[in-house]
């Protein structure tokens, strides 16, 4: 299993993330850090931790994440962000989920906000995290992936790599990937698969507003191709059992 971590000017968070990955009970085959035109020590931190560094000069998570997935030749891609802190059994849990279901395309889970006060962290988890999974599930007509805590088969990526909007920095790359996988793909939400993440999204109204603008853009470009009622019709007519 290969872990892909897109990062831009995030050396301090990245160092902690890579340390957590080094402590996994199921060690990764490789860690690929995508240096997204950083001006800080992101690449140096990655190399010092033994990660392979690939570069993506187009600024934006969609381009960086896609570049990382393209660099993986086979097997399973586990994806987290530079501010993710996966627990020691994170990769073991992912491996067991895929081993148990050879037809599974992807798996995802939620997160806890390790740097928010308890009350704010709980509210963020309840309203933001649950809102994302429930709201985007309705929009995608399938389980939506969350980029800080997800994994997919390389074969699934190869099937949609030409469809993702990697050149549009205003889309949420994880939700966009969910749209491209389609309503009939087997995608699982695993309650036991959790990671710690930074709550910096909630540090300012501007930061949170930017996330919502990206969400709107992601819905616009994908619903123009396949609106939700068509996606749900396709899902209900597809005979594939027990999806997500």
Give a yes or no: residue 215 inside a domain: yes
Buried b vs exposed e over 214-229: b needs ≥16 C-beta within 10 Å?
A: bbebbbeebeeeeeee
Q: Is residue 143 part of a domain?
A: yes
Instruction: Give the domain extent around 108.
Output: 2-237
Q: Is 243 part of a structural domain of the chain?
A: no
Q: What is the pLDDT of residues 31-43, one digit of tens each?
A: 999 999 999 999 9
pLDDT value at residue 243:
52
Where are any strands of DSSP class E within 168-241? Answer: 187-197
Domain assignment of residue 60, yes or no: yes
Low-confidence ranges of the chain (pLDDT < 70): 239-244
The answer to whether residue 244 is domain-embedded is no
Provide the domain count of the chain.
1
Q: How high is the pLDDT of residue 229? A: 87
Query: Which CATH number characterizes residue 184's domain?
Result: 3.90.550.10
Residue 149: per-residue pLDDT = 97
Looking at residue 199, its pLDDT comes to 83
Is there a domain that residue 242 lies in?
A: no
pLDDT at 205: 80
Q: What phi and psi values does residue 151 have, to the nearest 5 degrees?
A: -155, 150
Q: pLDDT tens digit string along 147-194?
A: 999 999 999 999 999 999 999 999 999 999 999 999 989 999 999 999
Q: On the CB side of 242, how many CA atoms lie within 13 Å of its CA?
A: 3
């Amino acid at each position: 299993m290969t872990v892909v971590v897109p990062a831009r000017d995030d050396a301090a968070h990245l160092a902690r993330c890579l340390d957590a990955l080094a402590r996994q009970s199921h060690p990764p085959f490789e860690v690929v850090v995508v240096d997204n035109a950083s001006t800080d020590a992101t690449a140096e931190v990655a190399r010092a931790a033994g990660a392979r560094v690939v570069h993506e000069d187009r600024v934006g998570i969609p381009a960086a994440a896609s570049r990382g997935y393209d660099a993986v030749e086979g097997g399973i891609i586990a994806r987290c962000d530079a501010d993710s802190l996966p627990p020691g059994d994170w990769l073991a849990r992912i491996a067991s989920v895929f081993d148990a279901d050879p037809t599974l395309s992807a798996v995802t889970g939620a997160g806890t906000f390790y740097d928010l006060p308890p009350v704010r962290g709980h509210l963020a988890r309840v309203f933001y995290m649950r809102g994302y999974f429930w709201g985007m599930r309705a929009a995608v007509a399938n389980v939506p992936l969350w980029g800080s805590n997800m994994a997919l088969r390389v074969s699934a990526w190869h099937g949609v790599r030409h469809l993702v909007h990697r050149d549009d920095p205003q889309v949420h790359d994880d939700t966009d990937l969910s749209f491209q996988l389609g309503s009939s793909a087997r995608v699982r939400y695993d309650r036991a698969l959790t990671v710690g993440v930074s709550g910096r999204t909630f540090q300012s109204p501007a930061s949170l507003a930017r996330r919502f603008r990206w969400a709107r853009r992601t819905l616009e470009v994908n619903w123009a191709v396949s609106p939700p009622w068509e996606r749900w019709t396709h899902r209900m007519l597809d005979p594939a059992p027990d999806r997500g």
